Structure 1
Amino acid sequence: MTQIVVLTGGVGGAKLALGLSHILPDGALTAIVNTGDDFRHLGLHVSPDVDTLLYTLAGKANAAQGWGREGESWAFMAAVRELDGPDWFALGDGDMALHVLRTHRMAQGESLSQVTASFAARWNIASRIMPMSDDPVATMLATDDGLMEFQRYFVEQRCAPVVRAILFEGAEKARPAPGVVDAILSADAVLIAPSNPFLSVDPLLAVPGVRSALARTSAPVVAVSPLINGKAVKGPTAKLMGELHMPVDNDSIAQHYAGLIDAMLIDSGDPCDGTDIAIARCATLMTTLADKMRVAQAALDLATRLRA
């Protein structure tokens, strides 16, 4: 296989992308990244999932938490607190550079795609990183505490409010970023990372051109389940499934992606009995680089078997 596309968002997706980048030739991987988490903070355009992938593939990510920069300092946030500014969303000193430069360059007329590609090139990232859209799409959660933008729910409220529905404002008018549809249609395989299906993958699928490209591509589409033994490794996936009245199991994940995926990779000990798509298993917990490469290879092997 020469061209692989991964739909990704957040830490779990970045782990799979890192594994793929280590087993594929340079230039063979295209990551299409969720931007529903993007928002304005202190006047800056913040793209959390894009930045997590940039840091991860550049070898700059905080190894312990999976997001943010390794060796970060926090003088800026200390000064913000001193002046009684909003500190619920922490911006590290090094991290600030991306947000300031992105905001400045977009104000000068560059698109999010152009700025992202420039950062990736500057850090010698061989894989292509594409935002799902250059148009604004905002993930919003209808909760028992009212309607919340994603970062307020996820960071400020720590996913505590009960969620009743998830909305993607602007998605119906958004267009896929340049190259996104072509990448999907020309891929040898498309992988859906073990990112949160509802908060990280669904924003991608809400962009009409992305969903239709997945339906049209001749490439096998393989999802990697975010569940292990009925639990999410990180984040509110299992909590959301319960609140949305879905059984917390792989069958629910497969049904959620019905009509878009041809197969799913799940953890070695987990069942998935209620679907007619192909199922493969491996140990899907990704802690070390070797783990990430193993899961990436298992997903590619499954796609190869489908093509055969």
Structure 2
Amino acid sequence: MTDKMDCVVIGAGVVGLAVGRALALKGREVLVLEAADAIGTQTSSRNSEVIHAGLYYPTGSLKAQLCVRGRDMLYAYCEERAVPYRRCGKLLVATSDAQLPGLESIRARALANGVPELQWLTREEAQALEPALQCVAALHSPNTGIVDSHALMLALQARTVINAAGLHAPGLAARFAGLDAAHVPIAHYAKGNYFTLAGRAPFSRLIYPVPEAAGLGVHLTLDLGGQAKFGPDVQWVESPDDLLVYPARGDAFYAEVRKYWPGLRDGALAPGYAGIRPKIHGADAPAADFVIQGHAVHGVTGLVNLFGIESPGLTSALAIADHVTALV
């Protein structure tokens, strides 16, 4: 008889729950701890709820590998467990000729990442799919989708510590005895604001601009009820609790959205919600890959730390869980 749990997972967001499920399926005794009074109240529920195809991420990175694998696992899991989702597809649009090389670069990277189903569309072909769209060319990603993230987390409930605490993972890791501080990255908080649309948008697919630094640009996403939202932007903040959406930020949203949807009416956008990306790089640094550290990296027996699990973390959650279980 022992008073120690076999596995403790810290953080009951989508990744922590997925890791707990994967460990339990392997016959491990698992306890999932959460600071909030409900599951998935932070990063996991304050995002675009998009199932990503795996287009953007550096070839060979964990983001690329786990997103592509996790996408297929997630669609299968949603189908098996009746989690609401829709494989609606996405258009990644170039709104000027100057953006065409960037669009071609994304297509090449997607092919290298094992995402061959992308289609290059001319202006006319893109507008045949989405008549309200303005662009010079687009990439059609038919395997991008949307999911009810809360329903997904509910479906996942089911001597090792898995630190999947998201925004608080670096701070928590710094408190573990025996863990060298060199293995704990500095937390940076990139707030993403969303604005919602009054009425229905004339689109049936997700619309993404060519990516910008630190994010994927102000894109149009749909929920499973067909309601549109725009965002997230990138606003570097000091506190992970800074979740207010200020109406004044709407001016920049109108300017960005009208690059690909000139028909957006004045006054149609309202402040929605905000989320904080758990980044481990600052505003002027290149994007960081997922960091998943086990004993082989930090030398602490029975500890796995997950840092920087931002987008595509939701898409990758089930694959991340398998990756983590292989470390313990």
TM-score (norm 2): 0.27
Bigger share in strand? 2
Bigger share in helix? 1
TM-score (norm 1): 0.28
**Bigger relative contact order (CA 8 A; separation at least 6):** 2
